[in-house]
Amino acid sequence: ATVGEKGWLSWAALWTDQWTHVGRAEAKHMSEIVVLNGAAVYQCVDRCAELRALFEEYCIAFHQRLVSASPVSSGTWPNDVEVPLTEFGEIMLGVRQREQQFVGMKVLEMIQAQQQVSWMSSMSSQHMHDLQREVVSGRCVLVESPDGSARRVVGFTGIRLQREDGSLLTILAKKRLNESEWEPDGKLPGVKQDPGELPHQAL
């Protein structure tokens, strides 16, 4: 596996007691190494109750995905470069609603700060208010993406049902309740994951 420019190769030492390497890292270009003192990180995090709770929930969710990762449950084994289902948004789907709200409100604060320094407001106050209500009620999980933008995440497990002749079950259209017209769709069927549920557990 290759870690590209602006990518990270991170040792999961904060989330596990023991880590067994399955490969060897070799730098092809000039790189930087960042070393964190685990005890110092814990001391800093411990000063804020909300951050400490998020830290603990993140640890539990990461470890759960690490020990359950396999070709059957997540498509691949974990390795030194990647642990399946541990992107930040995926981890946030596995923490408690209180921690989801904490992160979501911070993202909303970031959006509001960006709009204050922008000439054009990309989001109306009503839309912002609706998004805030969804975050508080738990209907929406909001995270910050690597490029600094806000992103909504949804736990959804797609199901691929295929017959021996190659025919594939597909949703071609959908109709909302109390509506008469069908709306074109075109996707695989699936099921929404419950809070903290892994994709294979939703089936």
Q: How many residues does the chain have?
A: 203
- DSSP for residue 194: P
Is the pTM of the predicted complex or chain greater than 0.95? Answer: no
Using the predicted structure, report yes or no on whether residue 118 has a pLDDT greater than 60.
no
**One-letter amino acid for residue 200 of the chain:** H
Using CA atoms, how far residue 65 sits from 38, 81, 119, 173, in Å, is 21, 15, 42, 34
Using the predicted structure, report yes or no on whether residue 116 has a pLDDT greater than 80.
no
Instruction: Please give the share of the chain, as a percent, with pLDDT higher than 90.
Output: 31
Q: Can you give the C-alpha Rg of the chain in angstroms?
A: 20
